[in-house]
Amino acid sequence: MLRVIVCLTRLASVLLMCVSFPVANCVQCKKMFGPYFQGRACADACVSSNGEIDLDCNIPETIVTFLKRFY
């Protein structure tokens, strides 16, 4: 029983790490682009994809869906 709990705890921490890195990138992009970046939408997309989104604030192609214009 204890072994199962330890395995589940490790699995949960690994899954949390997988999701937390892209979300951290969303936060970094929000700091860089300010009101032009949709940080909440970025974080929601990262969580819903289980962290499989590859975001880099320095590569516009990876964040273009989260950028918005102000006229």
Q: Is the pLDDT of residue 3 over 60?
A: no
- Rounded to the nearest integer, the mean pLDDT of the chain is 73
Return d(Cα 10, Cα 39) in angstroms, integer: 28
- Is the distance from CB of 58 to CB of 32 less than 8 angstroms? no
Q: What share of the chain is helix, strand, coil (3-state, %, to 5)?
A: 75, 5, 25
- Is the distance from CB of 58 to CB of 28 less than 8 angstroms? no
Rounded to 5 degrees, what angle do the CA atoms 71, 27, 56 make? 85
**pTM higher than 0.75 for the full model?**
no
